[in-house]
Every structure is written in C-alpha cells, then in structure tokens.
A = this chain, B = another copy of it.
Amino acid sequence: MTTSPSTPVPRVLTGDRPTGPLHIGHLLGSLQSRVAMQASHECFVIVADLHTLTTRPQREHVGRLPANVRGVVLDLLSAGIDPQKSTIYLQSGVPAVYDLAILLQMLIPVSHLRSLASLAQMAKVAKLDDEHMSLGLLGYPVLQAADILMAQAELIPVGADNLAHVEIAREAAVRFNAMYGEVFPLPEGQSSRVQMLPGIGPDGPSASKMSKSAGNTINLGDAPEVVADKLRTLSGERLRSFIDALIDERERAEELVGEHQAGKLSDAAAHGLLIEAAEGLLAPLRERRAAFEGDQGLVEEILVDGTIRAREVAYGTLARVREAMGLEGLWKGLLDVAHERAEARKKPY
C-alpha cells in the first residue's frame, strides 16, 4: 500500500521470528492489536529470518526457514493481517537493512547492549554461555533498530521484555539525528496489553509461559479437537489464567475465576467454557486460512510483493542516511569527476 504524503499515517513495525507456528498467546498478545491498528496505521510486518541466525545459525535451522516462513505468513493472514493494508516482508530480502545495521553499530556503545537483560535471557534459552555468545546476538538489538528505522516506524508494539530493544532503536535514532541531521522519527515502544498466557500440558519449570521453544502451545492452525484436547490438560492456576484471557467479558471472567477458585466451577465445566471461547476466537482464523491455502501461490505472492515494497522503502531510507552521513556525497563526487573525464576524452580536440 502507499500513503499520500499530504496525510501522513504513522507507521508501525511489528513482526515475528519464523521459528515455528504462531499460537493463541501471539493472537491475544499481539496479532489482535496489529489487526486493529491497520485501521489507523500503516503496518510493516517483518518476518525476521535474520534474527533467527543470532541464536540458531546452524544449517539445519536455516533449512527449516522455508516452511516456517510460509507458516508464519499464513498465520498472519489467517489472523486478519490484510496485505492490502499491511506490508508483510522477509527481512533477508531487504539488503539495505544490512547496510543500515552496520552503520548504526558505529553509534551504539557495547556497554548499552551488555546491560540488556533480554539478551542475557536469549543467550540462556539458546544455551550460549558468555564464552560462546556471538557478536550477532550482541548486535541483535541494533539489527532490530535497523528494521525499525529503515521503515521510519514510529510505533513498535512489543512484549514488555523487548521494550529495552526499542530503546536502543530510539537511542540510535537520537544519536544519528544529532550527529548527521534529522532523518529518523523517534520510535516508541508500546507494551502489549494482555497478560502472558501460561503453557498447556503438565506442570513444570517452563509451564508458566506459552512459547514455541517450550512446545506447550495452542497453535493458530490447530484443528478444533486438538485445541480441545490441549485445553483439557489445564487445571488450577493456569486454568484460571486461561479463563481470564479467553473469556471476553471482564465481569463474567472474574466471576468464573472466583467460582473455580472456590471449587464451585469444576475443571470439566471450565474446560467446556474455554473450548467454546477458543473456538469463537479461532474459527474465523480457520476460515481465512483455508481460503489463503486454497489459492495456490497466494501466500508466496503476498510475501514477495511485500518484500519488494519494503525494499523500496529501505533503499529510500538508506539513500537519506548515506546522504546525511556524507557517504553518498563521497561516492557521487568520485563518479562526477570520473564522468567529466570520460566526457572530456570524447571531444575530438
């Protein structure tokens, strides 16, 4: 989509690492608000394949990207991201982001990255001790900053644990603007509203958060009977968290949580209510998914078109960056003189 310059619509950047299917936690925590934002914002939705390399550079993981990338795009479309309104794109298909990331690396002190708890957490999850953490992982927030700034995005909805990364992007924008002139709007993080959803399955250390890596998710593409079976594994506090998250009406949800706590609502009855609520959420997604899947090649076409659009925006931003820094002037100056010489040699006398 294109925006008329006379009515600037604020740009949003959101996105996902293509490491596996998106789940109902993503839907409640992020996808629903992305869909709603499409009415008032121009959304860039990044499929961040390069980010997966920061913790999983191995060939076997890269080999899973084609299926995972397609799956994430299908998840996004089924959730209601409208390719007519939003730009869904593949990060590694936008070369200008690499340039921008390297240039921004000159502006961010290592000490600011070192102090990010989120990076330490990522390293821990990836089982990378201090000795093995790659420069790519340390630079991950700067690569994110390049994604955000190349899109000139102003609003960045993220999980609370990633707000600090948006701060790095903001720091890069502030420093760049101060050093080279105003190029970037200052991005602002927006923490997701909805509380974290616990995982399904038996109790355990990783049960407190639904996550792809813990394998305790209800996926957006799960069949109704799979969703029901997964919900039936819940009990106790986690079951109540699901009631709180899935039952739409606030008062009713609180009432049900109280009843379950007091033993007046059985697990089985609560499961029934959750299954109904989940179906209310997921049935429309299944319908859209079937439509997109039925149209052979449409998902790929949407991603390719979005990537080409993102590429144009990124080249535009990079041109302004190089211009402001003086790198473009350096190269143009050389070209001009070389061109003059070539022209002068053409003259017969």
Contacts and interface: CB of A to CB of B under 8 A. Distances in A.
Interface of A: 49-50, 53-54, 57-59, 62-63, 65-66, 69, 90, 92-93, 95, 98-99, 101-103, 105-111, 113, 130-139, 142-143, 179-180, 296-298, 300-301, 303-305, 325-327, 329-331, 333-335, 337-338, 340-342, 344
Contact of A98 (B54, B92, B99): B99
Given A179-B58, A179-B59, A340-B297, A304 B335 contact: yes
Contacts of A304: 334-335, 338
B296 A344 contact: yes
A53 B95 contact: no
Nearest to A102: B98
Contacts of A105: 134-136, 139
Contact of A99 (B95, B137, B305): B95
Instruction: Determine the main DSSP class of A at the interface with B.
Output: helix
Given A49-B327, A53-B103, A58-B179, 9 more contacts: A57-B107, A66-B334, A69-B330, A98-B98, A108-B134, A108-B136, A109-B135, A297-B344, A300-B333
B303 A334 contact: yes
17 contacts: A59-B326, A66-B329, A92-B330, A95-B98, A98-B99, A109-B132, A109-B134, A110-B135, A111-B130, A111-B133, A296-B340, A297-B337, A297-B342, A300-B335, A300-B337, A304-B338, A305-B338
B93 A331 contact: yes
A108 B90 contact: no
A134 B53 CA distance: 22
CB-based closest 9 A-B pairs: A297-B341, A106-B136, A300-B337, A105-B136, A62-B326, A301-B338, A105-B135, A98-B98, A57-B106
A59 to B, nearest CB: 6
A122 to B, nearest CB: 13
B296 A327 contact: no
A117 to B, nearest CB: 17
A287 to B, nearest CB: 21
A195 B48 CA distance: 49
